[in-house]
Structure 1
């Protein structure tokens, strides 16, 4: 893996250097094997980009480039330049959340500054032939952060009151909550509406495609779609 970048400028230069290259070209340089597909290797693209950009955080609950205060997010896009799937932000805390506020939340920390790396995501393109797009360094506008905060506070309030059965994918304008587990046996501790300990599936915060599409559209001057199908 390359050394951690010393500055924001160095990180951006590395990101621009890999723009236009295929996954095969990047994998060859990193000494990695390109899988046939991502069904069993969902984190492979992220690991490939981390190697080339010098990210060191791995799965820790901090930014990928902690010294620079920047999070790395790859985003698969279609032929029309629009995101193909929601973007995982971080695991949601289900216990020990008393007194937790937006300013100190993992979600705000992860999204305070993001290096977006668009990648070709259409399934008919063989994984080895997919290319990396032009990078985008993004900081939420006050309006965007206000929407994220409102969604986070609404969802965390429902978690605090044990209303897991009432949380659906429809909650949240930009941010939503959904189960994140390899299988249905991967349970974690939480509390129900009566305050009693229960076992439930881990939950993760995800950015809706409408929200990430807005980010890309503002940067790349793309027309926004009217779809709301996350």
Structure 2
């Protein structure tokens, strides 16, 4: 069942905090894979199922009726994020006139329910625990930084400079290839404005930025 209100969603998220993946999977009658090599999206699916996320179009938020996106965030023993966080695919064509205020990235990050999870590989998957939920909205300063990076990165795309994009660009947001392999090509804009075949690119939040969100939450407790 999909939660009707924000409080209902938060109550559900609180109720699974402290459980191991194995305990939650048993409650939901799901089997736990031996590892995540072949089941990369399993943890996300487990949490989505527990919280009643409506698995709709990727452009939509997970709880679109509440305006909330769900994100799991693997952390280490010190509470620091272990990986970057995928936000959305970058629009590589038909993107003239797109502004930050109407972008998918801003839409997805307008309100996020973060679920920290134990992510260290030495912990067997079924023993990893789920952390306390964090409902986050970007502050004016955080949004300013996100917007600045988004605009800079989108300039590269719109101006046909996809080949100059690398993971070092952007302070809090980065663009990286998002595809299972190099055969998964999409259309983009080349140097001379022509349509070219290129790798799909995704916007990712840097670990330092999500770490900052976690630290802010801990400081307020």
CA deviation profile, 1:43-72 (whole Å, cap 9, x unmatched): 111100000101003452110000000000
> 2:56 & 2:79 partners in 1: Cα distance?
28
1:204 to 202, 205, 215: 202
Given that 1:57 and 1:63 are in contact with CA atoms closer than 8 Å, whether structure 2 keeps it comes out as no
> 1:109 & 1:40 partners in 2: Cα distance?
30
1:217 to 191, 211, 215: 215
Given that 1:22 and 1:130 are in contact with CA atoms closer than 8 Å, whether structure 2 keeps it comes out as yes
Pair 23,59 (structure 1): closer, same or farther in 2 beyond 3 Å: farther
1:167 to 162, 165, 168: 165
Q: Matched residue pairs, number?
A: 220
> 1:43 & 1:72 partners in 2: Cα distance?
13
| Structure-to-structure mapping, 1:8-27, within 5 angstroms | 8-27=6-25
The alignment status of 1:89 with 2:87, answered yes or no, reads: yes
> 1:137 & 1:44 partners in 2: Cα distance?
22
- The normalised TM-score by structure 2 is 0.97
1:38 to 31, 36, 39: 36
Q: Which residue does 2:150 correspond to in 1?
A: 152
Q: Tell me, what secondary structure is at the counterpart of 1:81?
A: coil
Q: Supply the RMSD in Å over aligned alpha carbons.
A: 1.1
Q: Which residue does 1:79 correspond to in 2?
A: 77
Q: Tell me, what secondary structure is at the counterpart of 2:66?
A: coil
> 1:20 & 1:196 partners in 2: Cα distance?
52
> 1:5 & 1:219 partners in 2: Cα distance?
23
> 1:142 & 1:199 partners in 2: Cα distance?
37
CA deviation profile, 1:53-101 (whole Å, cap 9, x unmatched): 0100345211000000000000000000000000000111101101111
Given that 2:3 and 2:9 are in contact with CA atoms closer than 8 Å, whether structure 1 keeps it comes out as yes
